[in-house]
Amino acid sequence: MQMYKIVEKINLAPQIYLMDVEAPRVAKSAKPGQFVIVKMNEKGERIPLTICDYNEEKGTVTIVFQVLGQSTIDMAGYEVGDYFTDFAGPLGEPSEFIYEDIEELKQQRLVFIAGGVGAAPVYPQVKWLQQQGVQVDVIIGARSKDFVILEEEMKALGAQVYVTTDDGSSGRKGLVTDVLKSLVDGGANYDHVIAIGPMVMMKFVSKLTAGYDIKTTISLNPIMVDGTGMCGACRVSVGNEIKFACVDGPEFDGHLVDFDEAIRRQTMYKTEEGRQMLAAEKGSHTGGCCGGKH
């Protein structure tokens, strides 16, 4: 049985971990915008996670996750040298820009908006573009200084990075939408906004950019089981169509996504999750959630 070894573990921020995992097949095929499904052990859940980076030579894939439910609590307990039993991917469609003409991309003005742990899926996109010579801006938003992740890494790629925190402990005080608004109002002529982070953030970014008429891409992280289009748990209304986030997405046009429905669908197993966490506290269960969390 093939196993997937953890070769690096970094505590990026409170309750946010980065891991490099040996998965040569995934490392070889991964592209910006895609995700993986990780299963810790025989009885664990299939957890969809963002791909933060990949290294074909080393055969490793970098994942970043936030501790949110029992499964991610258990996952945070894994150390370098431990193994995941399953690591499937890369899943989903890559970001659309990788199919675009590089010279045309260079003419465009792109801004990424990374909310909290959403900086992880933004990173490989910024890396890919900067390495192709496409200059991008990045707005990182977080609760406070401690929760700002990957800021230095994005700067090292040559991106123009703006930081904003809820309490003003790093960068400016306020929301990512405030930063975007002041940049646009200040004359930044953005052609494309790519926003990845909490659902509410993506909803309000999309609302703002609709007013400015700027093309907006968001990345969804719904509940899913298989990640290959089989279960339909990740279905989402986009315009007048029903899409499966796992195979049609995870990235969609932010102006067409029904965010309220998507937010509601994320709560599907909340009661079960709570019950399992209570059981786990009593030491009788290793439960968790089947909610996909970037």
Partner 1 sequence: MANIARIPVREQNPKKRVTNFEEVCLGYSLEEAVAEAARCLNCKNAKCVGQCPVAIDIPAFINQVKQGEIAEAAKIIAESSALPAVCGRVCPQETQCEGKCILGIKGEPVAIGKLERFVADWARENQVDTVTTQPKNGKKVAVIGSGPAGLSCAGDLARKGYEVTIFEALHEAGGVLVYGIPEFRLPKETVVKSEIENLKKLGVTIETNVVVGKTVTIDELLNEEGFDAVFIGSGAGLPKFMGIPGENANGVFSANEFLTRNNLMKAFREDYSTPIKVGQKVAVVGGGNVAMDAARTAARLGAETHIVYRRSEAELPARVEEVHHAHEEGIIFDTLTNPTEVIVDDKGWVTGLKCVKMELGEPDASGRRKPVEVPGSEFVIAVDTVIMSLGTSPNPLISSTTEGLEINKWQCIVADEETGLTSRERVYAGGDAVTGAATVILAMGAGKRAAKAIDEMMSA
Binding site for partner 1 (CB under 8 A): 1-2, 25-26, 29, 39, 43-46, 70-71, 85-91, 225-233, 235-237, 242, 247, 261, 264-265, 267-269, 272-273, 276, 285-290
- The residue behind tokens 């200084």 is 145
Type of residue numbered 250: P
Determine the Cα angle at 234 with ends 233 and 239, to 5°: 125
Query: Shortest gap between Cβ of 110 and partner 1 (angstroms)?
Result: 26
Considering the complex, state which of residue 155 and residue 264 has its C-beta at the smaller distance from partner 1.
264
Query: Shortest gap between Cβ of 223 and partner 1 (angstroms)?
Result: 9
Considering the complex, state which of residue 115 and residue 222 has its C-beta at the smaller distance from partner 1.
222
Residues 6+ apart with CB under 8 A from 14: 146, 147
Nearest to 216 by CA among 126, 128, 142, 112: 112
Considering the complex, state which of residue 66 and residue 70 has its C-beta at the smaller distance from partner 1.
70
Query: Shortest gap between Cβ of 229 and partner 1 (angstroms)?
Result: 5
Query: Shortest gap between Cβ of 232 and partner 1 (angstroms)?
Result: 4
CA gap 79, 68 in Å, rounded: 18
Considering the complex, state which of residue 85 and residue 160 has its C-beta at the smaller distance from partner 1.
85
CA gap 175, 139 in Å, rounded: 10
Query: Shortest gap between Cβ of 237 and partner 1 (angstroms)?
Result: 6
Considering the complex, state which of residue 39 and residue 207 has its C-beta at the smaller distance from partner 1.
39
Burial 57-71 (b: 16+ CB within 10 A, else e): eebbbbbbbbbebbb
Query: Shortest gap between Cβ of 171 and partner 1 (angstroms)?
Result: 36
Query: Shortest gap between Cβ of 214 and partner 1 (angstroms)?
Result: 28
Residue 224: φ, ψ to 5°: -150, 160
Considering the complex, state which of residue 176 and residue 223 has its C-beta at the smaller distance from partner 1.
223
Considering the complex, state which of residue 149 and residue 234 has its C-beta at the smaller distance from partner 1.
234
Strands 241-244 and 235-238: antiparallel
Burial 158-179 (b: 16+ CB within 10 A, else e): ebebbbbbeeeebbeebbbbeb
